[in-house]
């Protein structure tokens, strides 16, 4: 049963990611720059429901897979808390869309929550993978190593964003213009989903991890 739930969770992750990729090739969202515009920009389009469905699928798939790990006692409490922050953060992103900067000059309460949830989710997930890797794969050093490397790469993507913020603060510039923000965010999201997939994929029968 746990294997079926894990596989269903992985399928939800893959389907969610696939829907986001689909948005980049169908009109009108194909006009959104994947290098300069963030993923949340899709949530301001006519295909908002597709974006929302994609994020909810990722959240549900994450919750299902993490629940299986927890039931197998392969998920430390700190990792479970971080995984919960990731899942809840995704749902908040859907509930409170990104501000439409074409019509507003500053973020409202919902826009602020969207930003905070995005940061929390993108940071919490790789930390959860790092914390969980040893317990999840005590007898599989290869998967443990791969999960950790992908988690560190995910944090590296986020470090690029932090670096831009620091440089912009020192030069009185706009940090989002200093880097290809859309590309960095998409790279981070893809790396994190792969890291999560490695963590959630069922282990072979007879092996604890």
Res 23: pLDDT = 97
Query: Looking at residue 38, what is its pLDDT?
Result: 95
**CA–CA separation, 72 and 133 (whole Å):** 14
Predicted model pTM: 0.94
Structure confidence at residue 209 as a pLDDT band (50, 70, 90): very low
Given a cut of 70, whether residue 181 has pLDDT beyond it is: yes
If one compares 11 and 110, the residue with the highest pLDDT of the two is 11
Task: Report pLDDT for 106.
Answer: 74
- Percent of the chain at pLDDT > 70 equals 96
| 64 CB neighbour count, 10 Å cutoff | 20
Contacts of 43 (CB under 8 A, 6+ apart): 51, 52, 93, 94, 97, 98
Contact 23, 77 (CB under 8 A): no
Determine the pLDDT at residue 102. Answer: 65
Maximal CA-CA distance, the chain: 58
Q: For residue 20, name the pLDDT band (cuts at 50, 70, 90).
A: very high
**Per-residue tokens: 45:** 């389009």
Helix (H) or strand (E) holding 150: helix 141-171
Q: How confident is the model at residue 99 (pLDDT cuts 50, 70, 90)?
A: confident
20 with 51: CB under 8 angstroms? yes
Reply yes or no on whether the pLDDT at 89 is more than 80: yes
Average model confidence (pLDDT) for the chain? Answer: 94
| Residue 205's pLDDT band (cuts 50, 70, 90) | low
Q: What is residue 40's predicted lDDT score, i.e. its pLDDT?
A: 96
For 26-81, the pLDDT digits (tens) are 999 999 999 999 999 999 999 999 999 999 999 999 999 999 999 999 999 999 99
Share of the chain above pLDDT 90, in %: 88
Within 10 angstroms of residue 171's Cβ, the number of other Cβ atoms is: 10
């Amino acid at each position: 049963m746990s294997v079926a739930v894990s596989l269903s969770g992985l399928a939800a992750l893959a389907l969610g990611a696939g829907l986001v990729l689909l948005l980049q090739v169908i009109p009108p969202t194909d006009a959104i720059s994947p290098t300069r515009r963030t993923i949340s920009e899709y949530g301001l389009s006519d295909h908002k429901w597709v974006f929302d469905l994609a994020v909810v699928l990722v959240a549900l798939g994450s919750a299902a897979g993490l629940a299986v790990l927890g039931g197998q006692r392969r998920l430390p409490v700190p990792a479970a808390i971080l995984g919960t922050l990731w899942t809840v953060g995704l749902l908040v992103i859907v509930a409170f869309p990104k501000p439409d900067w074409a019509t507003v000059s500053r973020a409202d309460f919902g826009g602020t929550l969207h930003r905070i949830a995005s940061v929390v989710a993108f940071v919490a997930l790789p930390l959860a993978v790092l914390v969980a890797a040893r317990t999840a794969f005590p007898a599989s050093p290869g998967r443990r190593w791969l999960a950790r490397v992908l988690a560190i790469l995910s944090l590296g993507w986020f470090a690029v964003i932090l670096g831009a913020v620091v440089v912009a603060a020192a030069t009185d510039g706009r940090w989002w213009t200093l880097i290809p923000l859309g590309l960095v965010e998409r790279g981070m999201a893809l790396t994190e989903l792969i890291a999560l997939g490695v963590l959630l994929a069922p282990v072979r029968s007879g092996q604890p991890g």
